[in-house]
Structure 1
Amino acid sequence: MPPSPRRLAYIDASARVVVSHPTYPMFRILTEMAGGSIDEVRAINLHLDRRVFLERARDARLIWLCNPNNPTGELLPLDFVEEVGLASDGVLVVDEAYFETSGVTALPLIERLPNLVIVRTLSKAFGLAGVRVGYALAGATMSDALRRVRPPGSISVVSAALGAQALSDVDGMHQRVQQVKDERARLRLGLEALDLEVRDSAANFLLVLTGRSAAPALLKKGLVVRTFPAT
């Protein structure tokens, strides 16, 4: 039996929320804003520890799963995503911010997982970063629960218009995504030629293992890169 909409719709101080580490930092921020307790599963060599993650997910109120993951670029197989969803009666949120680049989606799992929510954004492939437009995909029970807690005016008229315009040019989006993937491959070859370790990525970025001096040196050349501490 699927969990009730009331349980699905919110988290509070009694809620344990499972996330991987490293991952998209807003998962932690949003959870802590709602008063939830973070249960962090640390990666092994920048790969998700699937066994531990699955075990921790079993009795969690909410599970955040970024696929492909930010910042590692790791793409998890859908059978693992389904296993997590079946193991827990909490909400499984799969963040597919980079779906257009990876081409892999958990959408076929919605019919079998009433606790699944897929969230996507127009900030990446559609180039609308800062406009704050995205959407969710879920089954009927979950969609009803989300509608009950959605604040009025959550998207401005301007943002809605920009989002609609962006979605009208899907062919253009696919062309830009292919250009990004081609450049990603070219950049990787160049970085590996410098004997740098570059991780496999199904997203629109590459994670490169470097020393601390790399980012300041690149900044002097006018190149801004995002940095992460060693994990």
Structure 2
Amino acid sequence: MSLRSLHSWNVTPTEAREIQERFRNRVRQKNAASLRRIRHVAGVDVSLKAAQVTAAIVVLDYPTLELVDVATQRQKVSFPYVPGLLTFRECPAILAAYEKLQIEPDLMLVDGQGIAHPRRFGLAAHLGVLLGKPTIGCAKSRLIGTHDEPHEQAGCYTDLFDGNELIGAVLRTRANVKPLYISVGHNIELPTALDFVLDCCQGYRLPEPTRLAHQSAGGLLRSSRARY
């Protein structure tokens, strides 16, 4: 699959922040028309060990959530660890994995932040703008913002605020387990994002796309469909 290049990845932390500020206004918090006909949903996750990153993308049929495609990419990381700039460590490998896919996803669930980010341009938002696809940030931990604790029942959520700005939701995907931090990535509205995340849950804390992507990035998912 061919990808468009909006900027260089060989940048300094200062330049990386400038890129986030420059492209943040391209994030679209409206439902794309394509969301009415979702056939394939992807999960995106990465594993970082020492100076290497392994990115994994799994593609599932929707709504059956049957695994139909897997691609991974392992490569060296040159960008330093800087909170709020993890995209610049992870995204080059994710894009390389994306190019290996044979089935193009219509929606992507990303283990990372969308607009719930200091510059409103986390990994899910950045990836969505680069690919021009609907994306959802499905983070396991909070980067910024404040919230009330959601009820312990699965499907309950509370709003995530940065000051007076709504930047996401704290969603309980399984009863009595830690919630996930859901935020808009691109081409989707928050209520729609929450619906899709819950639709993709199969009794685990993580929705099935990111759960399988996590396994794949860690080398635990064995599939005849995988491309390395």
Question: TM-score, normalising length from structure 2?
Answer: 0.34
Q: Looking at CA atoms only, which structure, 1 or 2, has the larger radius of gyration?
A: 1
Give the structure, 1 or 2, with the largest relative contact order (CA under 8 Å, sep 6 or more). 2
As a proportion of its length, which structure holds more helix?
A: 1
As a proportion of its length, which structure holds more strand?
A: 2
Question: TM-score, normalising length from structure 1?
Answer: 0.34
